[in-house]
Structure 1
Amino acid sequence: MNHAARAAALILAGMTAACASGPPPSTGLAAADPHATVIDGQLWIYPTGGKGGLSLSAWSTADRTHWVKRGELIHQDRIGWIDDDGAPRHHLWAPAVITAGGHWYLYYSVGPQNPTPSRIGVAVADRPEGPFIDSGRPLLTGGNGFEAIDPMVYRDPRDGTHYLYAGGSDGSTLRVFVLKPDMVTIAREVAVDQPPNFTEGAFMHERNGTYYLSYSHGKWNGPSYSVHYATAPSPTGPWRYRGVILEGDARRQGPGHHSFVRDPASGDWLIVYHRWERPPGPGPYKGARRIAVERIAYGSDGAILPVRMTDVSP
């Protein structure tokens, strides 16, 4: 999306729960683009939302009912290169986190996209709550029809390779890279086919030897926003399109920009995503998006069964 629309979304994501209508979703958090992970038996979420896009924060829960804010991860004023593009203002969104070699790595989008290219940064910390120290340079810069946003880093359990997935709205192009062991440098790009209906927000997980690439499709603030997926025998394809996982219903619209995580209690897979608490209708939607959690079920052939949105955390 263009930088004005993205900036507005970041501001709206930080608004209070009173801004939304309808019943509370399964977390109650007014935020967006959640990257979920399990740390010491608790579910942590790293979302968009913080001081109108000036910073990023994390939340954790032991019961998915009571959430604890873990503080500020990073602020724009601690990113030394952020003003190098000459844009008058910037915003941070769509973070992702991973641990490797005893450190934590935070990847994040830096806008605007227009008139200057968007960028992806990476910062390092000794603890999952930070503070994170920026690496000192952009990891990836957009341009030429590619929007460098929505980073996701995945470690292949087969050989330990770390892959960076990135790309989004402007051009709707997915690119995949191999990271060097330092986790802050790109080793090489891997050529991949474009998955059908890809718009942004790629996420990778593996189950029983099958790799699941899931992603958002459609306009972020309209009724077309939804989650689709494809499967592959490797983290880089070839993709077999499998269909829609999440789409709007009579009470909620625009589910998307999600992550998959294992339930720390049962081991079941969960999908953590954001949505608009409103009935169907044309966009653009306004107000706060909310984070919700649903349980995932798989068919005998490994297919992800379509998810029915609920208001109670599984």
Structure 2
Amino acid sequence: MKKLIFLLLIFCYISINGQNNNPVFQGWYADPEGIVFDNRYWIYPTFSAPYDEQVFFDAFSSPDLVNWTKHEKVIDTATIKWAKRAVWAPSIIKKENKYYLFFGANDIQSNEELGGIGVAIADSPEGPYKDHLGKPLIGKFYNGAQPIDQFCFRDKNGQYYLYYGGWGHCNVAKLNDDFTGFVPFKDGTIFKEVTPEGYVEGPFMFIKDGKYYFMWSEGGWTGPDYSVAYAIADSPLGPFNRIDKILQQDKDIATGAGHHSVIKHPKDDDYYIVYHRRPLTETDGNSRETCIDVMEFDSNGHIKPVKITNKGIAAHPLK
């Protein structure tokens, strides 16, 4: 009887206040990469746990951004032999009917350690994924950037770039055709530093109205001040001059809102920010949940500050 009364109270609350869709799925998940493949939305997050337990990725798919199906362990360290721990921040892209999943592993602290950024390949979004190289794609420090937090971006001309970097430095490199390495820039360099003011980690890029929107996370990932800022440029190489912070904690909702991605509905102009945050009841750094809220623009094309909510977003089917 008590359980029935409790469920009725929840139903009444939702009926009065509308949907309550954040977090979008249960469990501790962070660094979510959102993307659309065919007629489904996908989210690839970090399994948020102590580093020695953070050894696999789950994926989630949805027809409408509200109802999610879990795809367990699409990849793990049993498949990636050189990866032992701290597998995080997946980035995925489709190219010529193959799916390429980029990831960081081992949290290396120096060039003497094995680890860095790897890439795996599969025939479908849910995998299974296998190691594409048998070794890290980037296993060293360049321009002071720890090889983590990679994001793969396809430019308008079909060139694929990899943005990445922790420790307050961000690099970009041009991927070769089969994602086994990189193509030098015209000046002969492989890794160009494009670090904007305030950058800490978590780069993300999208194009809107011909402009390049470059986004990143600021602050410390275990603290309440974790947040997202952005720049707008005319080129995928910048320069990226910081405009403003657009995602941060709300002391009435949650703290540590950051490390995000952006999903645009392919048939209209609706944008959604996919991010993680920490519930007010939690103090453990790994207690992070994945959420989605609306992201809007003003008449100048600037991103409006995002209001983080428990309500989340309404269903937006792809079909």
Same fold, TM-score > 0.5, yes or no: yes
Cα shift at 1:300? 1.2
Who is 2:275 aligned against? 273
| 1:129 and 2:131 aligned | no
Q: Say if 2:30 and 2:48, in contact at 8 Å, map to a contact too.
A: no
SS, match of residue 176 in structure 1: strand
SS, match of residue 288 in structure 1: coil
Please point out which of 109, 113, 119 is paired with 2:104.
109
| 1:187 and 2:189 aligned | no
Who is 2:305 aligned against? 306
Alignment partners' CA distance in 2, 1:193 and 1:91: 25
Cα shift at 1:118? 4.3
The number of residues matched between the two structures is 280
Please point out which of 17, 34, 41 is paired with 1:36.
34
* Structure 1 residues 258-302: Cα deviation after superposition (integer angstroms, max 9, x where no partner): 0011135644111100001117xxx96445211111111111111
Q: Say if 1:50 and 1:56, in contact at 8 Å, map to a contact too.
A: no
C-alpha distance 38-127 of structure 1, shift in aligned 2 (>3 A) = same
Q: Say if 1:222 and 1:285, in contact at 8 Å, map to a contact too.
A: no
Choose 177-186 or 71-80, whichever is displaced more: 71-80
Q: Say if 2:149 and 2:201, in contact at 8 Å, map to a contact too.
A: yes
Alignment partners' CA distance in 2, 1:232 and 1:287: 34
Who is 2:153 aligned against? 154
Q: How does the TM-score come out when normalised to structure 1?
A: 0.83
SS, match of residue 87 in structure 2: strand
Alignment partners' CA distance in 1, 2:125 and 2:145: 30
The percentage of aligned residue pairs carrying the same residue is: 35
Q: Say if 2:212 and 2:232, in contact at 8 Å, map to a contact too.
A: yes
Alignment partners' CA distance in 1, 2:107 and 2:200: 18
Alignment partners' CA distance in 1, 2:161 and 2:57: 23
Q: Say if 2:295 and 2:306, in contact at 8 Å, map to a contact too.
A: yes
Who is 2:138 aligned against? 140
SS, match of residue 163 in structure 2: strand
Alignment partners' CA distance in 1, 2:267 and 2:141: 43
Q: Say if 1:122 and 1:134, in contact at 8 Å, map to a contact too.
A: yes
Q: How does the TM-score come out when normalised to structure 2?
A: 0.82
Superposition RMSD in Å: 2.1
Alignment partners' CA distance in 2, 1:235 and 1:163: 9
Q: Which runs of 5+ in 1 are unaligned?
A: 1-22, 83-88
Who is 1:244 aligned against? 245
SS, match of residue 91 in structure 1: coil
Alignment partners' CA distance in 2, 1:200 and 1:92: 16
SS, match of residue 78 in structure 1: coil
C-alpha distance 264-160 of structure 1, shift in aligned 2 (>3 A) = closer
SS, match of residue 77 in structure 1: coil
Cα shift at 1:112? 2.8
Alignment partners' CA distance in 1, 2:301 and 2:205: 15
Alignment partners' CA distance in 2, 1:222 and 1:69: 28
1:20-59 to 2 correspondences below 5 Å: 25-30=22-27, 31-49=29-47, 52-59=53-60
Cα shift at 1:117? 6.0
Who is 1:79 aligned against? 80
* Structure 1 residues 123-177: Cα deviation after superposition (integer angstroms, max 9, x where no partner): 11111111111022210013373210011000001x1100000101xx3110100
Alignment partners' CA distance in 2, 1:190 and 1:236: 11
Q: Say if 2:115 and 2:136, in contact at 8 Å, map to a contact too.
A: no
Q: Which runs of 5+ in 2 are unaligned?
A: 1-19, 185-189, 314-319
Cα shift at 1:40? 2.4
Alignment partners' CA distance in 2, 1:99 and 1:261: 15
C-alpha distance 24-269 of structure 1, shift in aligned 2 (>3 A) = closer
Alignment partners' CA distance in 2, 1:124 and 1:28: 25
Q: Say if 1:192 and 1:238, in contact at 8 Å, map to a contact too.
A: no
Cα shift at 1:24? 6.7
Cα shift at 1:73? 1.7
Who is 1:204 aligned against? 205
Alignment partners' CA distance in 1, 2:193 and 2:285: 35
Alignment partners' CA distance in 2, 1:254 and 1:128: 29
Q: Say if 2:48 and 2:287, in contact at 8 Å, map to a contact too.
A: no
C-alpha distance 76-147 of structure 1, shift in aligned 2 (>3 A) = same
* Structure 1 residues 161-213: Cα deviation after superposition (integer angstroms, max 9, x where no partner): 00000101xx3110100000102322232524420110000000000011011
SS, match of residue 145 in structure 2: coil
